[in-house]
Structure 1
């Protein structure tokens, strides 16, 4: 297993490689401990998959996919005479359906972070659908604000032990794309560029991208304005003590009167992208267009996640059925 994953390192992004290595170390190697590859039976694979049945569907499916790839590689190299991996096992917990932000929530979020470092990040996510790593790797040379305003996605910034690594190797080949941007985002980027001292749209004055710590600090502008239970540490008599309180809608922060709790819904960096794609589909954009703008490798990925948006109105389906089978009268 260690030998096989080491061979994949040059073909995978750092994040994917670390994710796969974690799956192997946590779910495959412990289950197969004490067995030689040639002694593994289909029942051993079944047992391994039962052990991850209650994990997320993502973990479940990756476990099987990686095991199958390892055993297929061993079979192709004549290390084993038979591949013990049968047909894909069903299982894993379905992910909780993500809720895209409504128009009102989008407005609330933007108003809450306007004037902070999180503002431009949120605007790019909501109005272009870039992934987090694509936003953090975005440079001004890929932003066109005249003619047909657009963003060229060709770089991604990933974190390795907190340090940023920017590379032109994207998540998939489909991730490289040119995204037309609406007036709201054009205005935001024009203002940001006028005051920017960095080659990165979101970066430091020394032309370096954000570290992971800096990104988390930036996202705190969103968290700090969100209602709910909050905790903080305070030193008292030389001891570190934990304090908790409930932030209520409309109240001002106790330690910062300039901050008001106005966000009463869940916001994550990925929800910004999810909202962008949802709004495209609700506006009537066809699946192939959305696939391209989202940077999905296959249209099936778009459909698997957003089918309920594409086919959620019976009257629209009836119109299509009637066009396919017109009345003979």
Structure 2
């Protein structure tokens, strides 16, 4: 029996055919009896698709399921995850998905996404001005979704399984801790300024405890034990982009902790409480009595504290251009706390606990800084042995 040929005289395989408009197609029936068809403008491309389809089918991959687009699958993935993740994380997930909605890869079937497509997305995001840390978050979330697709046998391999710094340069600026002199100068400036002095105790408490600013904003009167000189961290206060306030658990299980108060932190928190306005207080998810509140009774949020520190640093640097403060944020105070504890010789596991980190590696790799003075001090200790 003579085999079918295309318009150029090339022999076609079983399942292959050429339409009158010149388009090639390959048709097959799966084990459930459902018919499938793939198309291509030339025979070579058709056979590449054909080989890929047969490879996928032979390994038990769900070819039909793999036809869902990246954008559609991400939506499905986040719907699946939303009952087990925090509200703030879900917001990040959907923000990430929306960035892909109108992109080439967002409209590509997950079964057709190649590593080169994933890397091109990374390059495009970088060229569009997104920071390395933001792109890293996006890649991590998409990689997790494709991992589920791989586990569900929808795809053969995860196209996002590569190192980010192989594609774009890591331009993340290293966090800089305040020196003791900078901190001392900062406190003196704040204490002597009639506008900023009311923020003095907030700065001291954050510096002396190292807690996250959202944990600080979530503190209530019942979290402070003035007898034992301790503060219990068991929640965060979060403000959404729409201005809504809600309470959530700490960042991880390690975030639940009890922190001893230094003398400075003890006096700072007492001053903050004594300064609280007498007003009708807002209740958030069943909690009231927040440590730091506005005159109208609403609790302060991370944005408020960040703004206060930004204004203080701006005023300080304007007055003392010869000795500028680094970017001053609540996280810089937390970072400085961690660096001080590590450099003082505190057991790293104890520092990890105080910081509420899920692993020691985070404590060491991300949050500690080493300056020239610290190196000299440590070298002198060894030399005296």
Matched, 1:110 2:187: yes
Map 1:312-323 → 2, pairs under 5 A: 313=375
User: Residue 118 and residue 314 in structure 1: after superposition, are their counterparts in 2 closer, same or farther (change >3 A)?
Assistant: closer
1:128/1:179 contact within 8 Å kept? yes
Contact kept in structure 2, 1:112 and 1:225, CA below 8 Å = no
In structure 2, how many angstroms separate the alpha carbons of the residues matched to 1:310 and 1:32?
44
Alpha-carbon contact 2:132-2:172 (below 8 Å) kept: yes
TM-score by length of 1: 0.74
Which stretch has the larger CA shift, 123-132 or 297-306?
297-306
Residue number in structure 1 paired with 2:210:
129
Q: TM-score, structure 2 length as denominator?
A: 0.65
- Quote the Cα distance in structure 2 between the aligned partners of 1:174 and 1:310: 28
Correspondence 1:167 to 2:228: no
CA distance in 2, matches of 1:102, 1:319: 20
Q: Residue 74 in 1 paired to residue 149 in 2?
A: yes
- Residue 108 of structure 1 and its aligned partner are, at CA, apart by 2.4
User: Structure 1 pair 16/49, CA: closer, same or farther in 2 (3 Å)?
Assistant: same
How far apart are the structure 2 equivalents of 1:66 and 1:175?
A: 22
Q: 1:126 to 1:212 in 2, by over 3 A?
A: closer
1:278 aligns with 2:355: no
Q: 1:50 to 1:187 in 2, by over 3 A?
A: same
Cα separation, partners in 2 of 1:215 and 1:103, compared to 1, 3 Å: closer
Which of 90, 97, 113 does residue 24 from structure 1 map onto?
Answer: 97
Give the secondary structure class of the aligned counterpart of 1:130. Answer: coil
1:4 aligned residue: 77
Residues 81-123 of structure 1: per-residue CA shift (max 9 Å, x gap)? 5443434343442421222112222122223334744223212
Distance 2:362 2:101 in 1: 26
Corresponding position of 1:184: 264
> Between Structure 1 and Structure 2, whose CA radius of gyration is higher?
2
CA, structure 1 residues 313+195, in 2 after alignment: closer, same or farther (shift >3 Å)? closer
Assess if the C-alpha contact under 8 Å between 1:27 and 1:48 holds in 2.
no
Residue segments in structure 1 that go unaligned for 5+ positions in a row:
228-246, 251-261, 324-329
Superposed CA deviations along residues 12-64 of structure 1, whole A, max 9, x for unmatched, are 33333333333333358624043111111222223223334565432332232
* Structure 2 counterparts to residues 52-71 of structure 1, below 5 A: 52=125, 55-71=130-146
Task: Label 1:284 to 1:203 Cα distance change in 2 as closer, same or farther (>3 A).
Answer: same
| RMSD between superposed Cα atoms in Å | 3.4
Question: Kindly tell me: are residues 314 and 99 of structure 1, through their superposed partners in 2, closer, same or farther at Cα, counting changes over 3 Å?
Answer: closer
1:25/1:277 CA distance change after superposition, 3 Å: same
Query: C-alpha distance in 1, partners of 2:225/2:244?
Result: 25
